[in-house]
Structure 1
Amino acid sequence: MTRSRYSASVRRLQRKKRKSGLFWIVVCLLLLLGVFLFQGWRSATARINRAATLFMERVAAGDEAGAAALLEMNGNTLALDQWIELFRDPAIEYSGVSGARLTGLTSGQADVAFRVENIALTVPLELAFRETAWRVSALPAVTNLAGAFVEAETGGRLRLLWQGDSLVLNAARPYGLAFGDVVETLIVADTAVRVTRLEAAELSRLLLRGDAVLEGELEGIIPLSDSFAVYRTGGGMVQAGSAGELLIGQRGIKLYLSDGAAVAVRVEEEGAAVETIRVLLRQNLDDLSDQTLGHYRLRLSSESGCVVEDRVAQRSYSFAAGELLTVEPAGDGIALIPPGGTLLQFDNRIFFEPLPPGRMVVEGLPRSYWEGTSPAYRGLLEIINRDGRLVLVNEVSFEEYLYTVVPSEMPLSFGLEPLKAQAVATRSYAYTAIFANRFSGYGAHIDDSVLSQVYNNMPEYPLSREAVEATAGEVLFYGDTVADTRFFSTSCGYTANAHEVWHDSVTGNFPGEAVPYLQAAPQILTETVDLSDEAAVRRFLKEVEWPAYDFQSPYFRWEVEMSGAEVEAALNRNLTERYAAQPDFVLTLEGGEFRSMELPRIPLGRLRDLRVIERGAGGNIMVLELEGTNGVYRIIKEYNIRLTLRPVQYLDGEGPVVLRCHNGATYENYSILPSAFAVFDLIKDASGHVERLHIYGGGNGHGVGMSQYGARGMAQQGFNYRQILQHFYPGTELKALY
């Protein structure tokens, strides 16, 4: 028993020794592994540090090629340019690299230290192990925001409004900023490392806003930065705006400049004071292309003498009554040639102000009803060189502008009440045009053609002036907004919905958004009009004897007949022209669907069919389909349809195309189809080609809002101007604007 116990003890001891040995072997192995890992970690962090240091040394030296060799370039090209540019700044001092560390098996970081305005900062640099070396894989973002709006600075954080977004950043130090400051901010990663408060300068008056420039009355042309921002403030709040909201003629704009360019403007949320309107004067009123917006030479005089000013350069010259001044482009500037005098050169906009009580006369400017004389203009005339042509703008008081719009838009024979209705509609439309900014790139609110309102095509007359003065300041409101009071010559007995005539100016969609006070409505006195289908529209437009307010207009009913060759010549020519002007609204059938695409030189070929695809509630054509031997097309919107289907002779050696009105009047080669309230009769030959086209139509103009002949007819029925306006703009309210 003793020997047995002894043997067992020996065996137990031996087992313990074996276990102890294994334990120490494991411990040793773990120690060795730890040493190996530590050495590997130390080696890796050292290599990370070396890679980051070498990269930053090359960055600090401006060695772009050397830095790029140590950088993964996927998506980092721009970042490297910005990073090198950062350390080229003499106010930024590179201090070194520290804090190298592993963040994964093949990823790491190192802290780049630098000083800005004596403040020490660090940002992390991302690195990755690739094959045999560590390379920089991502750089901290470097951003310079020129023109950011300060919303708040608190608790070491800075909140900025930038490009419509609110940004929250770490502040490298207290900057002492307050709401309303506009700053230039250098941001590295998520830290504003340098902030410069920009000084505000009040713009004298905004005269022009282009895509890349602003023009101040006393400052001249100011370039815009690529990131130009507009801020609207009021009641302690700020909103991001757009350059399109800046109104020509506006005062009180706070301007912020950096490196000579405007980076931001600030405007208070207040209604614009309407004192004057700025009218762009065309070469002539018959050609509505952009080519007539500029002049190659102008000749001006004044019946009482005038003063010519360059307000930027503070130069001024006086000229006597009747002196004829010739103005021409001269490079990027303007040359003024007095009679027998020394040529004067100007680099800026020039202003022509007549001495009281005179007006400025534009010699030789064709205006239909000035009866052999040249048109005279109240207010100021201004000229600027735009791309080698002279842009002529007339700035005139709001009411004086109406003195020649009303007789230019409505015959005096219509009588006082229709003229008063026209004055209110014209005043309302002109006011809304100021905010539309359609001609802001030319320094104007409106032009003098039918694209806006015809202005000064006829001199002032006592009756039209009486209509303006009797309604002075009156406009139509819909709710709190001045109504968009569209008007036109003649209805067919029905007006049109605005949204079925024009596309939405914001979204580009057609039909656009409905306008409650510009709705399709009958203009027939005693009978109900049925426009429920194409057959009903055909019956309505082919019938002449309707008891309509507009019946006395020659255009109440009209018709045109054209041969197949004549209509094909018109369509083949005008389709391409309309596509160039509005490509989204001239569509080609391709692959079973209609899409906007470039048209061939002869798009239609021979005409096979002409179909109305869609009409508005008032009977106006919204979509017209043309089928030819070369293709099938859809023309969208009434203006495109009217310009494509012009009753004009385009064939050489043939007689004019004649428009015949229901009162017996005829017009040759009428420049546009009078309206889109029309139906078509086609005669085809044996091969299916159109041999003759007969168009029956009614009305003249777009058909939206007030019919001028309709207003005349209502006045003859005893309605006054207020009742006329309520009829054509239901739901609006007549109020004083000023």
Structure 2
Amino acid sequence: MKKFTAIVLLLVSILLFILFIPREREHAVVAECSSNYSKVYLGDKLYKIRLPRTYSVGTVINYKYNFFKILKVDEVSPLTERVMIKNNDYYELEKSGPVKLSKSPFYYYLDKNNKLSICTDSKLIVGQNNSKIYMDKKNALKTLIITPIDFSYMRIGISTNNFDSIYHNQLEITCMEDSKLYNIQEGSSINISKGSKIAIEKAANEIIFSFGSQKKPFKSRTYLKGGDFKIDSLKRGNPSFVPYYSGIIEFTLCKDGILMINEVNIEDYLCKVVPSEMPSSGGIESLKCQAIAARTYAISDMLQNRFANLGFYVDDSTQSQVYNNIETNTLASNSVRETSGLIMTSNNTPIDAKYYSSSGGMATTYEDVWFNSDGTSEDKKYYFNGSYIQGETNIPQSEQDWLDFYKNKGLKAVDSESPYFRWYIYFPKESLEKSLNKSLKIIFGKRKDFIEILQNNKKIDTLPELKDLTNISVLQRSKFGNIMCISFKFSNATVNVKGDINIRSAIRCTKEFSGEIIPIVRHKKEPLINNNLIPSSFFAIDKVNGGFKIYGGGYGHGVGMSQFGAMELSKKGMKYNEILDKFYKNIKIEKIY
């Protein structure tokens, strides 16, 4: 009996312990709150609890409780600084610097209607003032509450001369207005007078800023804010000029050099993109198309976190869209102002607004240009694809049909007045062998998955010195004419290359690669001399005595808006919305700010 009583007492003690012992929950996020019951997220699960008072949606709390009630609630204070760089295991905060991520961070989105939902880190955009950051007890970043994005400004990575690199070894800047040089992490601020010149150089573990007789070293992200800044060490355009930048210039020390980022109002950014991407000769309506496409493209890149590990949204080269490579002009600036805030959307989301110089009479699909090495691709169905040729012209079927098509200069299309509508290149066999030996090694080193090397019909893992080019053949061509896979047959190996940019960069026309300058003969205007890439992957090959003749059409990837086509339609009196409907389908033009 005594033993039984002891067991009962033990069980009662355990039960009382379970019922009354305080437990703790960390980083509960309030999703709904009322005087009766509230809903909170703990990680990715939603729970219903009774809180002692009401809290705003999105509040983060730690609380102690037992079986019967909430015993204590502590509201957690957030960090409200910007995330400047995202990496897999840490984020760099604007003031606190690098902070490690928890092993299981959680992200929540608080929308404009005050509704909280679980999201992923893709919602977190660097350089935005729209997040509250909560650290756990180990000082790791555990919880983030993200609010809607501010689309009114851009962060652009500024390249060196010729857009060779985004890393600078040294810079020279003239402040055109009174300015301020400051560093948030190191708590330093220096006034710089109008007309002052600043020399900036990379040292071992710091950036040294020299102005007048002063030298100031900084180890962390440093900002220059004022009016306009002239970057004296940069040259842009042809004829060349020294570019000016407005807004804020940021300087960050990286292993490879100084990373320079320009944070600027998006409309000011576009005023320097539109003239760099499209000449004004097409008229205001085509420039409006360019402004809307460029604005959409920039915001799409921002949302994709494409350069989040570097801290900017777009770069200033053709890798994104060209910025500040041609000086601004009134017509281009007017096109930006008259379309302020307008972007193209599909299913209420900004589209990836691809555009290119001119077509060869056909528009192709996204998945036939941007695909993975296994052939998979994203599903982007908002681009027009098909023929731009006037009249009832059937799409070519055979390689001979495509060769005849690209030889035909008499076809009329939306952009047939473009000098690039038809072009050809003649390569002596020896010159093309030299070019391919150099270019294929580069592609193999950078994008090995897109190259297949065969010897005696067996795959090999190394690229030999290629000898005696005997043939070039198309292994895969899209329905609309761009080559997706090409084969170069040599006496000692066969090399198959996949992908638009890989195919275009395989055949190079420069003296550096070919041993001689190979002109690209356009059907209008003078030949292109010493051009690095062939104009497009829309081409066919004609083997001739002593070499190969490549007949092609268009300039660029062939997806989205043909800029030359937009210019021609603008000259014919079409409005920007009508023109955009020619190149994109099932899209809406919406104002986002």
Smaller-chain TM-score bracket = 0.7 to 0.9
1:629 counterpart = 2:496: no
* Aligned equivalents of 1:120, 1:634: Cα separation in 2: 67
Matched ranges for 1:172-251 at <5 A: 199-217=76-94, 219-225=95-101, 227=103, 229-234=105-110, 238-239=117-118, 241-242=120-121, 244-251=122-129
**Which residue of 1 is the match for residue 293 of structure 2?**
425
- TM-score, with length taken from structure 1: 0.69
What is residue 363 of structure 1 aligned with on the other side? 232
2:390 is matched with which residue: 525, 531, 536?
525
1:664 Cα deviation from its structure 2 partner: 4.4
Post-superposition offset of 1:375: 0.5
Say if 2:359 is the partner of 1:499: no
Code of the aligned partner of 2:251:
I
8 Å contact kept, 1:229–1:241: no
TM-superposed deviation, 1:228: 5.1
How far has the Cα of 1:276 moved from its partner? 0.6
Work out the percentage of aligned pairs sharing the same amino acid: 27
Matches within 5 A, 1:380-391: 380-391=248-259
Give the 3 Å change call, closer, same or farther, for CA 651–491 of structure 1 in structure 2: closer
Q: Give the distance between the partners of 2:87 and 2:245, measured in 1 at CA.
A: 26
Counterpart in 1 of 2:585? 730
Instruction: Provide the alpha-carbon RMSD of the alignment.
Output: 3.4
Aligned to 2:480: 618
Report the Cα distance in structure 1 between the residues aligned to 2:127 and 2:364, rounded to whole angstroms.
34
Q: State the Cα deviation string for residues 133-158 of structure 1 (Å, max 9, x = none).
A: xxxxxxxxxxxx99898999xxxxxx
Between the aligned partners of 1:310 and 1:406, the Cα distance in structure 2 is 33
Name the aligned partner's letter for residue 443 of structure 2. R
For residue 343 of structure 1, the aligned residue among 203, 215, 223 is 215
Aligned to 1:402: 270
The aligned counterpart of 2:411 is 546
TM-score where L is the length of structure 2 = 0.85
Cα pair 1:202 1:252 within 8 Å, conserved: no
Q: Tell me the distance in 1 between the aligned counterparts of 2:132 and 2:517.
A: 58
Distance 1:585 1:266 in 2: 38
CA distance in 1, matches of 2:405, 2:502: 23
Aligned twin of 1:699: 554
Contact 2:384 2:582 in 1 (8 A): no
**Match among 169, 172, 177 for residue 296 of structure 1:** 169
Structure 2 unaligned blocks of 5 or more: 1-16, 33-39, 48-52, 64-72
Partner of residue 411, structure 1:
279
CA distance in 2, matches of 1:399, 1:181: 35
Partner amino acid, structure 2, of 1:225: L
* Residue in structure 2 matched with residue 469 of structure 1 by the alignment: 337
Q: Structure 1: 5+ residue runs without aligned partners?
A: 1-114, 122-144, 153-158, 169-175, 186-195, 685-690
Equivalent pair of 1:399/1:468 in contact (CA under 8 Å): yes
After superposition, the Cα gap between the structure-2 partners of 1:346 and 1:735, relative to the gap in structure 1 and judged at 3 Å, is same
Alpha carbons of 1:651 and 1:300: their partners in 2 closer, same or farther (altered >3 Å)? closer
1:255 aligns with 2:123: no
Please tell me the residue identity of whatever aligns with 1:336. F
Q: How does 1:101-112 map to 2 (within 5 A)?
A: none
CA distance in 1, matches of 2:458, 2:120: 38
CA distance in 2, matches of 1:216, 1:267: 15
Tell me if the contact between 2:27 and 2:42 (Cα under 8 Å) persists in the aligned partners: no
Question: What's the offset of the Cα at 1:286?
Answer: 4.6
CA displacement, residues 419-466 of structure 1 (integer Å, 9 cap, x when unaligned):
111111111111111111111122100000011110001121101011
The match for 1:314 is 187
**CA distance in structure 2 between the aligned counterparts of 1:533 and 1:460, rounded to whole angstroms:** 46
Deviation at 1:649, TM superposition (A): 2.8
Is 1:711 paired with 2:566? yes
Larger RCO of the pair (alpha carbons < 8 Å, separation 6+): 2
CA distance in 2, matches of 1:494, 1:510: 22
Query: Displacement of 1:237 after TM fit?
Result: 5.8
**Alignment match, 1:568:** 433
The reply on whether 1:599 has 2:462 as its aligned counterpart is yes
Tell me the CA shift for residue 344 of structure 1: 0.5
- Distance in 2 separating the partners of 1:372 and 1:615: 39
Is the partner of 2:155 in helix, strand or coil?
Answer: strand
Q: In structure 1, what is the Cα distance between the partners aligned to 2:307 and 2:21?
A: 50
C-alpha deviation, 1:621, in angstroms: 0.5
Deviations, residues 42-96 of structure 1 (Å, cap 9, x unaligned): xxxxxxxxxxxxxxxxxxxxxxxxxxxxxxxxxxxxxxxxxxxxxxxxxxxxxxx
Does the Cα contact within 8 Å between 1:566 and 1:650 map onto a contact in 2?
Answer: no
Query: Which of the residues 638, 661, 665 maps onto 2:500?
Result: 638
In the other structure, the counterpart of 1:556 is 421
Partners of 2:281 and 2:46 lie apart in 1 by 63
Is the 1:497–1:514 Cα contact (8 Å) retained in structure 2? no
CA distance in 1 between counterparts of 2:296 and 2:318 reads: 16
Give the partner amino acid of 2:185: V
Question: Is the Cα contact below 8 Å between 1:229 and 1:240 reproduced in 2?
Answer: no
